[in-house]
Amino acid sequence: MEKVLVVDPEKCTGCRLCEQVCSVWHEKVVNPYRARIKVVKWEMEGKVLPMVCRQCDDAPCMEVCPMGAISKDSETGVVAIDYDRCIGCRMCVSICPFGAMSYDFAGNKVIKCDLCDGDPQCVRFCDAGAIRFEDKAIVNEDTRRKAARQAMDALN
Amino acid sequence: MIVEPNKNKSGKNRCVINDARDELIGLWSGSNPGEARKLLARGAGVLTRITHGQELQRPVKVLEDLVFSLKKSPSSSCFAAASLIEELLNHHKDLLFSHISDKECSAGICFFCFQENIPPCQRACPAGIDIPGFMTQTGRGEFQDAVEIISENNPFPYVCGMICPAPCEDACLRNLFDEPVFIRPLKAVAAKGAANSKGYPEPYTAPLTGKKVAVIGAGPAGLSASFYLAKKGHEPVVFESEDEPGGMLRYGIPEFRLSREILNSDISWITSHGVKIHTKERKKEIGKLFKEGFDAVFLATGVHLSRKIPFKGNDLAHVLSGVDFLKKVNKGENPVVGPDVVVVGGGNVAVDVAMAALRQGGKNVHMVCLENSEEMPASFHELRAATMEGVVVHNSWGPFEAKKDHTFESIFCKRVFDENQRFAPVFDDTRHMTLKADHLIIAAGQAADLSYLETENEIDTTTGLIWVDKYSHATDREGVFAGGDVVTGPNIAVEAVKAGKEAAIAIDEWLQQQQDKSESLSRSSLSPVSHPLLPNTQAGFSNTKPRLSNFYTRHLSHSTGSTHSANFADSTGFTDSSQPLRVTATHRMEEKRAVLLEQNPDVRKKNFFPVEFELDPEIAAAEAGRCLRCDICIGCGLCQFVCSEMGVDAIKLVKSGTGRFVISDFKNISDKCISCGACGEVCPTGAITLVQEELLKRTEFTGTVMCENILLKCSKCGTPLMPGKYYDFMENNYCSKSGCNESLRLCYSCTRQESADKEKRYFI
């Protein structure tokens, strides 16, 4: 069963706790720069949007990697980096259309969300419930309903 | 049995994994560009990582994946590679695991160059000088530090810079595609430069131990031993029977090869460490020395007698001994020979004798030697100097008869060595040659004068030389050590230096043990020590290694440093020998071996001034820049494999006989390199580094910029992105498939912002 991170921007308070726990879990330091999740804010408009890796099926990062170091796990659906093969060329970072990957200058490596081995810390610590870890099928259903609602709004 | 891991490649010991690696590399180098080549390169890279002891997170999975993808490929060499790796996985799993997890190779082949990162030149140097290190410092003009590095393993920097036959140059990896680095005269440049500027390094010795060591003989072995004993804090006293110290360096080597000032300056530096030299002192009995209060004795009396070669008339008055002749010349007794002189022998001593004979009245000097021109032991450059002066060399002729009418008859020698490389000359009775010889000088074979050991029953001298333990240099009598020519027979000076140095370490250890023993004796009862000299004699090489390691470690500590140590060498004035010289790629690739100017042969054959001029410091610096720094690059070849795996194939290395890879072609690299950085990422020693400076990305190999590429900028915020060449490469090879190259022009935070902006419109 494939599970993905689902973001509900309306619930997000912009506290950025997710960034901190992410860096602690992966790098053992509190350093939002080294986090896999990034919260984008529009301060003037008072809007926030946590950006996460989509774990795409046909992931551009996977396609573009010259060493074939990125692969999608058929069971968990995680698009993971094999650091044995990665050469740090950052092509994947450049090509990701969501800007979901980044380069960790302190650790000299590219970083991307790996869903914390099935227990995403951002989900665990988000008190507002803005990030959920859900089955892909449910997400699709939700998205469909949301889109339909928007279409209805537009029609009305 | 002693296993010397680097030497048994062709012998019985083979490592299956290393063999598989070799085969895979063979398959890879024979393949054409394409997917198959990339896969083979990956395979070669993985096996190289295993044989060089590098971490792999999930090695078995990596290998299994590799087999899987190799099998998918239609190429036949891929299939062969797949079955090679499968065989490893199925039949040699234990071996594979011992390599991966324990970093152990039962055959003793793998991991060797990685753990003991000793470059070929240093391995070939009997004294084990850190050659790349001292050359780098010489090239920088840090002469004192260069002498310091040399003197860690050899207390004769200037002397060896003049006379060493330089086995290091034969081992130089530049031999594969060019002439070797001219290492020998650089030592002289360093020593001369140090003497003219800051002086030789300040004598430093360990705190005094109060132990006295008697050293018999002030030749290179004796002086080296006393130098290192003094460094260890002992009190060496050298006894020399001749008028002045130096041994064969003074009495065997003529002034036109080694001037006396040079010899004296090196010796006075040695004595400044607290070495006492008593000259004109006859050899004493060993027992007496112990009674006089010496704690240990080191015998380095050398080989000063000529051995008689059996031929008719070898006892005639005009038949001279080469050693005696040189001794007379060097003492200034001015023996006159000639005008027709024949020298018998083919070694460096014979060449020296021939050249000295020219200066002592010889008009027509002929050398007659048994060996043919390839087998001749004399070094090439000395022989060339002699022939330029007019010495005629007759190869493959053996002495037959010296006659009273001053003619010398020689006999043709068909073969000198038998199948087992043992000396067994075969002569052709039908071919004879007669030369005119007013003097016949025999410079073949020297023997040791061991008369002073006649009363010694314990020391084994049955072979005419002193027998010692190979590693401890100990004779059978406790507390008595020996080294140099008196143990090995006539040999080059630097071998004697090695013997002296190793003996000093062994004597130091032995003295330490004696001290510990007497201390524990006085405290309590003592458990018997099986062998007083070596605590761990069972296993040979690995146990004797630590003894030398303290001489090696200092300049090797850098080898495990981080990959991304930037080039702060010259900008901040940081001048450690581990920081390579900054040299351009053209210089490193195309600079020719320096030429040492010599005196005009017609003039020099009448004087005793040095035959060779010294190297100019500027030329020496250029020469040092030719060094490929094989101490930093271990020649694993990972960079080349990863470059091939990328599909770039910019790095192409030459493979040496011992399986090392050597960089030779910088031009191909700068033409093809796309600055992806893969080579720097995989390089285990930091020989290849990547430096990013504002909008430039540079790939450097030990101080040489291999490739420089300009970086693209983020079209929104201006942050540097990837190099333009790399962008083109990716666009052509990969992005056409995925079709999302518009994000390539932006940095990742700008991409994220754009994507969030888009999403905002829908959801928020």
Residue with tokens 């009448």: B606
Using a CB–CB cutoff of 8 Å, tell me whether A107 touches chain B: no
Q: Measured on CA atoms in the order A69, A75, A78, A84, is the torsion positive or negative?
A: negative
Which of B682, B738, B749 shows the shortest C-beta gap to A60? B738
Of B755, B760, B762, the CB nearest to A97: B755
A84 touches B: beta carbon within 8 Å: yes
Q: What are phi and psi of B633, to 5 degrees?
A: -80, 125
E strands in B617-764: 653-655, 661-663, 688-693, 696-701, 704-713, 720-723
User: Taking each helix axis from N to C terminus, what angle separates B131-140 and B143-151, rounded to the nearest 10 degrees?
Assistant: 160
Residue B376, CA distances (Å) to B356, B371, B396 in order: 19, 5, 10
Which stretches does DSSP call E strand in B124-180? none
- Contact across the interface for B682 and A84, Cβ inside 8 Å: no
Contact status, residue B362 vs residue B390, Cβ threshold 8 Å: no
Q: How far apart are CA B351 and CA B382, in angstroms?
A: 7
Q: Give the rounded distance of the alpha carbon of A121 from its chain centre.
A: 12
Neighbouring residues of B406: CB distance < 8 A, sequence distance ≥ 6? B318, B340, B436, B437, B438
Mean pLDDT for back-to-back runs of 10 residues, chain B (764 residues): 41 78 91 88 90 81 88 88 90 85 77 69 91 92 91 93 91 91 94 91 87 93 94 93 92 92 93 92 83 92 86 88 92 88 91 93 91 87 90 91 90 88 87 91 87 84 88 89 91 92 92 84 45 32 28 32 32 63 87 89 87 90 91 89 89 86 87 88 87 86 89 87 84 64 77 86 68
Rounded to a whole number of angstroms, the distance from the CA of B566 to the nearest CA of chain A is 14
- Closest-CA distance of chain B to residue A125, Å: 22
Q: What is the ipTM of this complex?
A: 0.86
Q: Contacts for B101-108 with beta carbons within 8 Å, 24 or more apart?
A: B103/B53, B105/B15, B105/B17, B105/B18, B105/B51, B106/B15, B107/B5, B107/B8, B107/B13, B107/B14, B107/B15, B107/B18, B108/B3, B108/B5, B108/B8, B108/B13
Quote the strand ranges of chain A, DSSP E. Answer: 3-7, 38-42, 47-51, 70-72, 79-81, 102-104, 109-111, 131-135
Residue B11 structure tokens: 């012998």
Alpha helices by DSSP H, A55-97:
60-64, 91-95
Fill in the DSSP letter of residue B694: T
Residues of B within 8 A of A98 (CB-CB) are 751-752, 755
Among all chains, which residue has been given the structure tokens 């001029």? B613
Closest residue in B to A148 (Cα) is: B762
Task: Tell me the chain B residues in contact with residue A88 when contact means C-beta distances shorter than 8 Å.
Answer: 677, 681
Contacts of B762 in chain A (CB under 8 A): 150
Q: Are A38 and B740 inside 8 Å of each other by CB?
A: no
3-state secondary structure of B411: strand
Neighbours of B66 (CB within 10 A): 22
Q: What is the 3-state secondary structure (H, E, C) of B352-383?
A: HHHHHHHHCCCCEEEEEECCCCCCCCCCHHHH
Q: Are strands B423-436 and A131-135 parallel, antiparallel or unpaired?
A: unpaired
Strand, coil or helix: B434:
strand
CA angle B551, B554, B560 (to 5 degrees): 125
In whole angstroms, what is the distance from residue B728 CA to residue B720 CA? 16
Give me the phi and psi of B646, to 5 degrees please. -70, -20
Most confident among A24-38, A43-57, B459-473, B658-672 (mean pLDDT): A24-38
DSSP tag of B5:
G
Which chain B residue is nearest to residue A53, measuring alpha carbons?
B752
User: What pLDDT was estimated at residue B548?
Assistant: 29
CB contact under 8 A, B763 and A9: yes
Q: How many CB pairs under 8 A join A and B?
A: 107
Task: Evaluate the CA torsion angle A13, A19, A25, A29 in order and state its sign.
Answer: negative
Hey, how many other C-beta atoms are within 10 angstroms of the C-beta on B244? 18
Task: Give the rounded percent of residues in chain A with a pLDDT score beyond 90.
Answer: 37
Mutate to test the interface with B, among A51, A94, A98 (most CBs of B within 10 A): A94
> What is the rounded distance in angstroms from the CA atom of residue B430 to the CA atom of residue B490?
33
pLDDT tier at A28 (50, 70, 90 boundaries)?
Answer: very high
For B680, nearest residue in chain A (alpha carbons): A87
CB contact under 8 A, A89 and B678: yes
Structure tokens at B538: 């069972």
Q: Alpha-carbon distance B348 to B351, whole Å?
A: 5
Looking at the partner chain, which of A66, A89, A94 has a beta carbon nearest the beta carbon of B744?
Answer: A94
Contact flag A96-B744 (C-beta cutoff 8 Å): no
The CA–CA distances, whole Å, from B746 to B471, B711, B717, B723, B754 equal 65, 13, 8, 13, 10
Residue of A nearest to B754 (CA): A98
Residue A33, CB-side half-sphere exposure with 13 Å CA sphere: 7
Rounded to an integer, what distance in angstroms lies between the CA atom of residue B681 and that of residue B686?
Answer: 9
Placement of tokens 């070094």 in the chain: B379
Q: Which long-range contacts (CB under 8 A, 24 or more apart) does A75-81 make?
A: A76/A2, A76/A3, A76/A115, A76/A118, A77/A2, A77/A3, A77/A4, A77/A136, A78/A114, A78/A115, A79/A53, A79/A55, A79/A112, A80/A114, A81/A110, A81/A112, A81/A114
Number of other residues whose CB lies within 10 A of the CB of residue B456? 18
Beta-strand relationship, B696-701 and B704-713: antiparallel
C-alpha B640/C-alpha B81 separation (Å) is 18
| Type of residue numbered B543 | N
Choose the closest CB to A64 out of B647, B734, B754.
Answer: B734
Contact of B422 with B252, CB cutoff 8 Å:
no
CB of B45 closer than 8 Å to CB of B682 = yes
Closest by CA to B216, choosing from B236, B235, B240, is: B240
Q: Which residues contact B33 (CB under 8 A, 6 or more apart)?
A: B647, B649
Q: Distance between alpha carbon B277 and the CA centroid of its chain, in Å?
A: 31
Using CA atoms, how far residue A59 sits from A138, B620, B739, in Å, is 21, 56, 11
φ, ψ of residue B163 in degrees (nearest 5): -115, -5
In angstroms, the CA B253 to CA B463 distance is 26
B242 vs B250: CA distance, rounded Å: 10
Distance CA B615, CA B612 (A): 9
Q: Closest Cα of chain B to A19: distance in Å?
A: 15
CA distance B495 to B167: 11
Report phi then psi at B610, rounded to 5: -55, 135
Question: Is the CB of A153 inside 8 Å of chain B's CB atoms?
Answer: no
Q: Using CA atoms, how far apart are residues B462 and A105, in angstroms rounded to an integer?
A: 69
What b/e sequence results for A12-28 when a residue is b if at least 16 CB atoms lie within 10 Å of its CB, and e otherwise?
bebebbbbbbbbbbbbe
Question: Which among B726, B746, B756 is the nearest to A40, CB-wise?
Answer: B756
Nearby residues of B739 by Cβ (< 8 Å), 6 or more positions away = none
CB contact under 8 A, B755 and A67: no
- Distance of residue B39 Cα from the nearest chain A Cα, in angstroms: 10
Q: How many residues does chain B have?
A: 764
What is the C-alpha to C-alpha distance for residues B514 and B294, in angstroms, rounded to an integer?
A: 13
Record: contact B764-A9, CB cut-off 8 A: yes
Which residues in A lie closer than 8 A to residue B741 (C-beta atoms)? 95
Phi, psi for B414 (deg, rounded to 5): -80, -35
DSSP lists the bridge partners of residue B10 as none
Minimal C-alpha gap between A124 and chain B (Å): 23
| Three-state DSSP class for residue B393 | strand
